[in-house]
Amino acid sequence: MSAQIRHLFSIVHQAAHQIDQPVFVIGGFVRDLLLDRPCKDLDFVTKGSGIRLAEEVAKKLGTKQISVFKNFGTAMIKHDDYELEFVGARKESYQRDSRKPIVEDGTLEDDQQRRDFTINALAIDLYQDDFDQIVDPFQGLQDLEAKIIRTPLDPDITFSDDPLRMLRAIRFACQLGFRIEEESYQAITRNAHRIDIISKERIIDEMNKMILSPHPSLGFKLMFNTKLLHRIFPEMVDLQGVEIKNGKGHKDNFYHTLEVLDNISKHTDDLWLRWAAIMHDIAKPATKRFHPKAGWTFHGHEDRGARMVPKIFKRLKLPLDAKMKYVQKLVALHLRPIALTKEEITDSALRRLIVDAGDDLEDLLTLCRADITSKNPEKVKRYLARFDIVEQKLKDVEERDKLRNWQPPITGQMIMEAFDLPPSKKVGEIKQVIREAILDGKVENDLDKAKAYMLELGKKMGL
């Protein structure tokens, strides 16, 4: 326990004795303290008014940064990097069609019973002097030691009362590397349909935390096996399975996607790059075709997938802004760098990729490197070696031609003025021909050279 935490505990201890009100720190902070994980949110439960105790603590800390929520009987203090929340001990009951509880005053035991998991029901008694008395009515310490996620009460009741707890169980399993206890796991499967009453915003918040965990594939496997994923993200479920025809099969795109997600998670904590990994093959089921000679194909799945991104983001309540466009762009481009490993690499193809990817080129390459998967390690090694060559050539062309976020030197306005044209399709066609000529290396990326080419082009077109 750090000196700063011990000081905070001492302040709360003094305030509690001053108003004669027992208090406990409870929940995730205690769990993380015992696991030696950083945590800045402290939840205090008191036998009495949480607001009154918070006000006393704020006085002793010499802070006015206190927020009082009288309707909920809670108060929050911000002190340094910490958030301290105070509430009176409560007990809860639920109606079947809502996850909003009916709250009443209760005891510490009532408050611990309403917690989602045994490891989150641990409490430290701060009314005592030494701060080492842990109140553990559900063997949470034992589960912490055994790395088990288990509900304190009947899991069917726990999950039916608040179905978000099913996703929280999976999220904690991902974040902590714990195992969900068998009866709690089976209860998630039995109650998966109850997730339908939870708002999409709450669901995606838990999913994003899973995706940011060290091994996010674990979360998706657990959601798939318990049928939660089928109700939340059916497009991803559709990726699962292998079809064999005339002795020809294809890889299971669901498990391939999870491998790509884990691969990319070793190299980035960027949530949206991880989402690009999740979405990169999302349109393969919709584009799957069988060819007698070629076998299974997924032609155009990158373009179809890019078009699917906005619809999926909207339904999942993910942001419909630059983040969505970023994911869409990476999905649309994800085959381009890998295609370059299978053919003669031309400067023209490299220039086009640099221009189209712009500032997201490095992220695209990270995604494509993660996308190189096979059960044959030697095959992966060969592909990665060829990909190294592509990356180096991209760097060489980029340094030489300075094409990052490039725009053609000839604008539509210049074309209209040169040939006395109104805004029209023809202006766009001329601009496109000039763009392609520069990217193909036929014309230097220079304003004067591009103007000369434009005038020559105009002559040929009779302008």
Indicate which CATH number applies to the domain containing 196: 1.10.110.30
What residues contact residue 60 under an 8 Å CB cut-off, 6+ apart? 11, 14, 15
What local confidence, expressed as pLDDT, does residue 2 receive? 84
Beta strands (DSSP E) in 146-209 are 148-149, 179-180
Indicate whether 361 belongs to any domain: yes
Number of domains observed in the structure of the chain: 4
Q: What distance in Å separates the CA atoms of residue 112 and residue 90, rounded to the nearest whole number?
A: 9
Q: 162 with 65, same domain?
A: no
Considering the domain architecture, whether residues 103 and 166 belong to the same structural domain is answered as no
The residue behind tokens 């999409």 is: 200
Between CA 265 and CA 274 the distance in angstroms is 7
- Domain end, chosen from 109, 130, 146, is at 146
What is the reported pLDDT for 201? 96
Residues 286 and 336 in one domain: yes
If asked whether residues 219 and 258 sit together in one domain, one would say no
The whole domain housing 436 covers 412-460
Last residue of a domain, one of 209, 232, 255: 232
pLDDT score, position 404 = 65
Examine residue 96 and state whether it is found in any structural domain, yes or no.
yes
433 located within any domain: yes
What is the spatial order of strands in the sheet that 41-46 belongs to?
66-69, 74-79, 82-88, 41-46, 23-26, 123-125, 134-135
Q: 11 with 122, same domain?
A: yes
Q: Tell me, yes or no, whether 240 lies in a domain.
A: no
Q: Residue 447: count other Cβ atoms within 10 Å of its Cβ.
A: 12
The CATH number for 126's domain is 3.30.460.10
- 22 & 135 share domain: yes
Please report the pLDDT score of residue 97 as a whole number: 58
- Amino acid, res. 188: I
Handedness of CA 33, 203, 303, 244 (dihedral sign): positive
- DSSP secondary structure, 148-162, as one string: EE--SS-HHHHHHH-
Report the residue count for the chain.
463
Residues with Cβ within 8 Å of residue 330, at least 6 apart in sequence: 273, 276, 280, 360, 363, 364, 367
In this structure, is residue 120 part of a structural domain? yes
Percentages helix, strand, coil for the chain (3-state, rounded to 5) are 55, 10, 30
Pairing of strands 102-105, 123-125: unpaired
Q: What is the pLDDT along the chain (463 residues), one digit of tens a residue?
A: 788 888 999 999 999 999 999 999 999 999 999 999 988 999 999 988 889 999 999 999 988 889 988 878 899 999 888 999 998 886 555 455 555 655 556 677 777 878 899 999 999 999 888 887 899 989 999 999 999 999 999 999 999 889 999 999 999 999 999 999 999 999 999 999 999 999 999 999 999 999 999 999 999 999 999 999 999 999 999 999 988 888 887 889 999 999 999 999 999 999 999 999 999 999 999 999 988 888 888 999 999 999 999 999 999 999 999 999 999 999 999 999 988 887 778 888 888 898 889 889 999 999 999 999 888 889 889 889 989 999 999 888 887 777 666 778 888 899 898 888 898 888 888 988 888 888 888 888 888 888 898 898 888 888 8
Q: Which residues of 347-373 are buried (b: 16+ CB within 10 A; e: fewer)?
A: eebbbbbbbebeebbebbbbbbbbbbb
In this structure, is residue 238 part of a structural domain? Answer: no
**Global confidence as pTM:** 0.84
My answer on whether 101 and 188 are in the same domain is: no
The span from the CA of 102 to the CA of 300, in Å, is 52
325 and 225 within one domain: no
For residue 189, report the phi and psi dihedrals to the nearest 5 degrees: -60, -45
| CA distances, 210 to each of 61, 109, 171, 213, 346 (Å) | 36, 30, 5, 5, 41
Single out the residue in 198, 232, 266 at which a domain terminates: 232
33 and 179 belong to one structural domain: no
Same-domain check for residues 296 and 436: no
Q: Is residue 237 part of a domain?
A: no
Task: Please check whether residues 441 and 323 belong to one and the same domain.
Answer: no
One domain for residues 200 and 273: no
181 within a domain of the structure (yes/no): yes
